[in-house]
């Protein structure tokens, strides 16, 4: 299944008059509509290979049809997304779920869809078939040096796969921790993990980054060895310049002020990237922007402010990725919604009158500061996001076109109704 330019053009023709009216009206009221549209055009969000199938919970998995059965089909799925929105131009692979058999062929396939390879993800949270030692009691933190070495070797192997594909970063998420008090010596677990990460770091190519992802709890429920941004920052600082903290929105304790975390990590030059999703309770991995859109906006507001303050390039100095996985929606429609929510929050953040906000802050004018932020948040920026799509040849309404073209039924026809994508 492919979506061609004519199908998109036809769809856009039907919606164009309304879009033009809405955009022109909004642009008249904004000082910087054109600049924002250009930034939206340039902004790309990577799609994780494991979000393309219906996700599982520990209670059950209800697979949808037409899920990608291999890496080639995962790339094809993201190609469809990118054709529809021109904002999903990268794929993030997971080893061993996505081991390429023929690197050159995979690279060619990806470039046919105009996709690049974002961060590589390692997996030491599951035991794989034929694996010598078990990660039941952790991987990089393990009391047994042999288990730690196995985890290190795996990560080095993941880097090698990434080099072949042109990736430039490794994301390490560790499930390591403990579920009962007394189970673990915290200090030794930390030191073992640091030593393991140092060995992986030593294998990192010069132009690569390593992202240390933290998570408050789950699968361990008493302690997690990279449990919060403080611990992640400790590892990243001790490792060196190529190491950064990765923020996954769902990995905090309830009500954590993620925007403040982002601001300070940026200040320290240690923010590496993002896993976008949304949640109400924990690591729910729901569609980005589906539960707390204001929080998403506030995070983007700090990102824009902090990145501009450091002269960073919004498009490439941080890793932007979705990390979601759930049970109910068509995964492709869901990803289109997530990307849209990210672009909306980004556009709103670009609307914030920074000079006025700084002035309000300096005058302790709390009311004015709130007005400035909420004015941006409450502006309907969807015409800007749609305009960016129009200009790049994407669909004005990607979800609508996805449905009109019957993409899912087409995929089911091609791949079958009972398919299970590898992944979570």
Contact set with Zn ion (CB under 5 A): 248, 250, 275, 277, 283, 285, 323
Choose the contact partner of 94 out of Zn ion, ligand AOS, none; CB within 5 to 8 A by kind.
ligand AOS
Q: Is 202:226 a contact under the CB 8 Å cutoff?
A: no
Residues in 65-84 at the binding interface with ligand AOS, rule: CB under 6 A: none
Choose the contact partner of 330 out of ligand AOS, Zn ion, none; CB within 5 to 8 A by kind.
none
Chain residue whose CB lies nearest ligand AOS? 173
Q: Does 50 bind ligand AOS (CB under 6 A)?
A: yes
Least distance from ligand AOS to the Cβ atom of residue 136, Å: 18
User: Residue 403: which of 49, 66, 84 has the closest Cα?
Assistant: 84
Choose the contact partner of 411 out of ligand AOS, Zn ion, none; CB within 5 to 8 A by kind.
none
- Nearest-angstrom CA–CA distance, 116 and 79: 11
Residues in 155-184 at the binding interface with ligand AOS, rule: CB under 6 A: 173
Choose the contact partner of 208 out of ligand AOS, Zn ion, none; CB within 5 to 8 A by kind.
none
Contact pick of 67, 73, 118, 283 for ligand AOS (by CB under 6 A):
283
Q: Which two tokens stand for residue 334?
A: 């869901």
Q: Is 63:419 a contact under the CB 8 Å cutoff?
A: yes
Tell how strand 120-121 and strand 169-173 pair up: parallel
Contact pick of 121, 124, 224, 290 for ligand AOS (by CB under 6 A):
121
Contact pick of 73, 98, 176, 213 for ligand AOS (by CB under 6 A):
213
Burial class of 231 by CB neighbour count within 10 A (0 to 12, 13 to 18, 19+): middle
Q: Which is nearer to Zn ion, 351 or 424 (CB)?
A: 424
Least distance from ligand AOS to the Cβ atom of residue 79, Å: 21
Q: Residue for token digits 């920052």?
A: 233
Q: Does 288 bind ligand AOS (CB under 6 A)?
A: no
Residues in 81-120 at the binding interface with ligand AOS, rule: CB under 6 A: 94
Contact pick of 11, 275, 326, 390 for ligand AOS (by CB under 6 A):
275
Within 13 Å and on the Cβ side, how many CA atoms surround 293?
A: 20
Least distance from ligand AOS to the Cβ atom of residue 173, Å: 4
Q: Is 266:302 a contact under the CB 8 Å cutoff?
A: yes
Least distance from ligand AOS to the Cβ atom of residue 215, Å: 5
Q: Does 278 bind ligand AOS (CB under 6 A)?
A: no
Choose the contact partner of 121 out of ligand AOS, Zn ion, none; CB within 5 to 8 A by kind.
ligand AOS
Contact pick of 67, 73, 248, 259 for ligand AOS (by CB under 6 A):
248
What is the chain's Cα-based Rg? 22
Q: Does 323 bind ligand AOS (CB under 6 A)?
A: yes
Phi first, then psi, for residue 36 (nearest 5°) are -65, -45
| Neighbouring C-beta atoms of residue 226, cutoff 10 Å | 27
- Nearest-angstrom CA–CA distance, 54 and 327: 5
**DSSP designation for 63:** P
| Neighbouring C-beta atoms of residue 38, cutoff 10 Å | 13
- Nearest-angstrom CA–CA distance, 81 and 330: 12
Q: What does the binding site for ligand AOS look like in residue numbers (CB under 6 A)?
A: 50, 94, 121, 173, 213, 215, 248, 275, 283, 323, 424
């Amino acid at each position: 299944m492919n979506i061609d330019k004519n199908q998109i053009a036809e769809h856009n023709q039907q919606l164009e008059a309304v879009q033009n009216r809405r955009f022109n009206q909004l642009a008249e009221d904004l000082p910087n509509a054109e600049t924002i549209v250009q930034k939206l055009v340039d902004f790309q969000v990577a799609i994780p290979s494991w979000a393309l199938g219906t996700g599982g919970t520990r209670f059950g998995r209800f697979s949808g049809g037409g899920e990608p059965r291999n890496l080639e089909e995962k790339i094809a799925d993201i190609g469809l997304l990118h054709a529809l929105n021109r904002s999903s131009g990268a794929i993030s692979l997971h080893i061993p779920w996505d081991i390429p058999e023929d690197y050159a062929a995979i690279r060619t396939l990806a470039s046919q869809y105009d996709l690049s390879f974002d961060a590589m993800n390692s997996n030491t949270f599951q035991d794989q078939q034929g694996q010598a030692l078990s990660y039941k009691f952790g991987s990089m933190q393990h009391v047994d040096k042999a288990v730690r070495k196995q985890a290190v070797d795996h990560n080095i192997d993941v880097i090698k796969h990434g080099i072949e594909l042109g990736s430039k970063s490794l994301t390490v998420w560790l499930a390591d921790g403990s579920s009962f008090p007394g189970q673990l010596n915290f200090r030794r677990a930390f030191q073992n993990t640091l030593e393991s990460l140092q060995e992986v770091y030593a294998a990192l190519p010069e132009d690569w980054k390593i992202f240390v992802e933290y998570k408050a709890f789950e699968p361990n429920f008493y302690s997690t060895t990279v449990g919060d941004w403080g611990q992640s920052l400790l590892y990243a600082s001790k490792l060196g310049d190529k190491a950064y903290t990765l923020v996954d929105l769902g990995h905090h304790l309830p009500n954590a002020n993620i925007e403040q975390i982002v601001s300070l990590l940026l200040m320290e030059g240690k923010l590496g990237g993002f896993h976008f999703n949304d949640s109400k309770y924990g690591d729910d991995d729901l569609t980005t922007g589906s539960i707390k859109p204001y929080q998403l906006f506030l995070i983007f507001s700090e990102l824009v402010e902090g990145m501009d303050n450091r002269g960073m390039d919004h498009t490439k100095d941080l890793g932007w990725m979705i990390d979601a996985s759930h049970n109910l929606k068509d995964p492709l429609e869901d990803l289109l919604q997530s990307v849209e929510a990210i672009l909306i929050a980004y556009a709103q953040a670009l609307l914030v009158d920074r000079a006025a906000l700084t002035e309000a802050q300096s005058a302790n004018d709390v009311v004015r500061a709130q007005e400035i932020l909420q004015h941006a948040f409450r502006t309907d920026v969807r015409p800007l996001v749609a305009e960016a799509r129009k200009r790049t040849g994407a669909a004005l309404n990607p979800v609508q076109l996805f449905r009109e073209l019957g993409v899912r039924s087409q995929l089911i026809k091609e791949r079958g109704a009972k398919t299970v994508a590898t992944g979570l």
